[in-house]
Amino acid sequence: MVSNGKAAARPAASGARTARKAVRIEGVRAASPDKSISHRAIMLAGMAQGTSQIEGLLESADVLATAGAVRALGASVERTGDGHWQVTGAPQWRSPEGDLDLGNSGTGVRLLMGAAARFDLTARFTGDVSLSSRPMERVLAPLRLMGVTTSAADGGRLPVTLNGSARLNAIRYTPPVASAQVKSAILLAGLGAEGETVVIEPEATRAHTETLAPLFGADMSMERDGAGLIARVRGGKALHSADMHVPGDPSSAAFPLAAGLVAGTGPVSVTGVMTNPARFGLYEVLKTMGADMTITPAGTRAGEALADITVRPGALKGVEVPPEIAPSMIDEYPILAVIAAFAQGVTHMTGLAELRAKESDRLAASAALLAANGVKVELGEDSLTVHGMGPGGVPGGGLVKTLHDHRLAMAGLVLGLGAKEPVTVDDVAMIATSYPGFFDDMAALGADIG
């Protein structure tokens, strides 16, 4: 066993990188483990009685920050091998000795606030510069209704001090913004509330907490309500340990598959990709664009269906992307914008206001990424229009300013693989927060990134 419980040292890519038109882009890669489920697995196991074995955990900077925070709250969180983690829970979390620094992880900090809320403890949550600029009040407001007291920096931002309670009130709550993070924070807090806590979503978001928590013994359920979802949890039931294997991340899989679509010389396959409908919006849009894509069922993991996805290069068409699909692909708009640049015709995306509250103003930054490389774009308050230039038609030659956003960095590099001239991304260090295997996977497919 690795005694310090940390991932083995791995040199992190940093500084500027340049992507050039590739001679060959084809091959097969296994999907990177899902980040959202990795966070939740560590937290739930950390609250459970007994020892859980988690296989295929994503060892990214974000997930490692969550692991460190759960350890500081009293659980034993140890790495026993590559992607294999053993978590012995602490059914009563304690006040940590220092700040809980979640780095760049919005999922980690928001969900952990909810998980910690149900214990008699005081914790101060911090993060990096990017995370400290993001809104936290959307999570803090419902937690206060449940009986938690909080203090935050101006605008409801980090650092946040949270005083939890083992005697929380159950609530019935409709989030003002569609957010799986807000929903999950409430549900995790509701594990310790008296009675039934209900979250009503007019637009359904990813339901990983609702799927995963029952594996650990939680009395949690969900039901569809038209386009929405109603999630319920009855507090007071003790959690037990569980062994699980983390499924592949459809958000990370989007980058090698996009490279296959815009720069491929043959088929590109990613295996073991989770196909949860609340995470699969990008792939539905790609179908409407005419992508040559095969999706083959490949079993299940942790209650989630998997598939092997193969794409082949070919002509794509511009499409209208409706606002109602946004919750199922909120992280994929930067790479969709890049794919749209290589399509024939105009792609119009609406309902994107939430992108302005991500690691960067991701909406404006996606527009700037394309404009800097010769693609005509039109930016609205909650919309983006991309005028496609056809296969091989993107000029490139520009500099992508990532603004500390991992998805912009990866999208910019994929753009460079298909553009006429090399594309430089100003910093790639943050890619390790979500997809530490990105450069290895892209190199194995033949990408020229140096």
36 annotated among ligand-binding-site residues: yes
106 known member of a binding site: yes
- Please report the sign of the dihedral spanned by the C-alpha atoms of residue 113, residue 118, residue 123, residue 124: positive
Q: Is 172 annotated as a binding residue?
A: no
Angle between helices 137-145 and 180-190 (to 10 degrees): 30
Sign of CA dihedral 326, 104, 361, 409: negative
Contacts of 440 (CB under 8 A, 6+ apart): none
In sequence order, the 6+-apart residues with CB closer than 8 A to the CB of 412 are 19, 338, 369, 400, 402, 423, 425
234 is known to lie in a ligand binding site: no
Distance CA 201, CA 220 (A): 15
Rounded-to-5 percentages of helix, strand, coil across the chain: 35, 30, 40
Residue 260 tokens read as: 């296959």
344 has binding-site annotation: no
331 a catalytic residue: yes
181 is known to lie in a ligand binding site = yes
Query: Is the Cα dihedral 234, 237, 239, 242 positive or negative?
Result: negative
Q: Which DSSP string do the residues of 293-336 spell out, in sequence order?
A: EEEEEEEEETTEEEEEEEEE----B--EE-GGGGGGSTT-HHHH
Among 336, 341, 292, 344, residue whose Cα is nearest residue 318: 344
Is 35 labeled as ligand-binding?
Answer: yes
For the CA atoms of the chain, what is the radius of gyration?
A: 21
Q: Is 331 annotated as a binding residue?
A: yes
6/156 Cα distance (integer angstroms): 32
Residue 110 labelled as part of a binding site:
no
Pairing of β 84-88 and β 76-81:
antiparallel
Tell whether residue 362 is among the known ligand binding residues: yes
Measure the CA–CA gap between 371 and 273, rounded to whole angstroms.
31
DSSP string over 188-241: HHHTTEESEEEEEESS----HHHHHGGGGT-EEEEEEETTEEEEEEETTPPPB-
268: three-class secondary structure by DSSP: strand
Choose the catalytic residue: 62, 249, 308, 331: 331
Active site residues: 331
Annotated binding site: 35-36, 40, 106, 134, 179, 181, 331, 358, 362, 407
Annotated binding site for 3-phosphoshikimate: 35-36, 40, 179, 181, 331, 358
Annotated binding site for phosphoenolpyruvate: 35, 106, 134, 181, 362, 407
